[in-house]
Amino acid sequence: MSQASILLVDDEFPIRATLGDLLRRRGYDVQTADSGEEALDRIAQRPFDLFLLDLRLPGVDGITVAQRVRERYADAAILILTGHGSLDSAIEGIHLGVFDYMLKTSSPQDVLARVKSALEAQAEQRHKKSLMTTLQTVVGELGGKQQEPNETPTQQPAGDQWIRVGELEIGLWRQMARLGDQTLNLTPTEFRLLSCLAQQAGLVMSYANLLRCAQGYEAESSEAAELLKPHIYHLRQKIEPDPSNPRYILTVRGTGYVLAVEAPQSK
């Protein structure tokens, strides 16, 4: 099996050299770009499995690069690099799925762990898509109606475990979520967050517990809150009628988040 391909985009040479060498020594196929323009050129030439992307780039900024990546390669994993302690400005305006983000001061072990986690989640998603395509083909050959790739299934597959919270349905085996008759287009991290909250619906999950459940690593409450914030923001964009006034994913200030068992009706 060939190693995953990575495009590292950063205008700082020390970052490109250090991270590039670190990843190559782990066997990854790594290319680098020092600007948004060069990144777009490389994206047009060949696909990549994962993008390590600095948002603050001269010329074409990182937000534009991330948008082009998502338009061209729907299942590519994107990890955001930032040199800023406060991430509010770094993620402003990004309304697309990113797997995770990390500070440029993160340890080499942390960078490798995040890259490995992102690629494993991507491989799992690709495998499940391939498996579902095969199953749909088999059903069609047996005389059933072959389901279109984007069609919502009318029957839930045997053995799947579903969680239902009000209008929300989460299929753990298929890693799909629906709100009413709408299928939600979630990133792997968003799906795990929603699943963790749904399994504790009506109960407050602390920042640290939610991060542990969804991402599998430990952090102090304040750090966990910052790590969760962008993912909760994107998740609300996809499921809330009014993301600025959440009805489903509620914040318990200073503590954590809770998935409302019954979303309050708008007046």
Domains with residue ranges and CATH for the chain: 5-121 (3.40.50.2300), 152-259 (1.10.10.10)
- Cα–Cα distance measured from residue 88 to residue 85, given in angstroms and rounded to the nearest whole number: 9
List, in sequence order, every residue forming a beta bridge with 44; answer none if it has no partner: none
DSSP-H helix ranges across 144-239: 188-199, 207-215, 221-239
Answer whether residue 87 shows pLDDT above 60. no
Q: Choose among 111, 229, 99, 103: nearest CA to 237.
A: 229
Answer whether residue 222 shows pLDDT above 80. yes
What is the structure's pLDDT at 158?
A: 43
Q: Which residue has the tokens 């909760």?
A: 232
Largest CA distance in the chain: 59
What is the structure's pLDDT at 264?
A: 45
- pLDDT band, very low/low/confident/very high, at 256 (cuts 50, 70, 90): very high
Most confident of 87-101, 103-117, 118-132: 103-117
Answer whether residue 95 shows pLDDT above 90. no
What is the structure's pLDDT at 267?
A: 40
- pLDDT band, very low/low/confident/very high, at 98 (cuts 50, 70, 90): confident
- On whether the CB atoms of residues 65 and 57 are closer than 8 A, the answer is yes
Answer whether residue 176 shows pLDDT above 50. yes
Secondary element (H or E) of residue 111: helix 108-141
Neighbours of 1 (CB within 10 A): 4
pTM: 0.51
Backbone angles phi, psi at 103, to 5 degrees: -75, 150
What is the structure's pLDDT at 137?
A: 59
More confident residue, 93 or 78: 78
Between the CA of residue 195 and those of 96, 153, 163, 177, 236, what are the distances in Å? 20, 20, 8, 9, 14
| pLDDT above 90 coverage of the chain, percent | 31
For 45-49, 172-176, 220-224, which range has the lowest pLDDT when averaged over its residues?
A: 172-176
- pLDDT band, very low/low/confident/very high, at 236 (cuts 50, 70, 90): very high
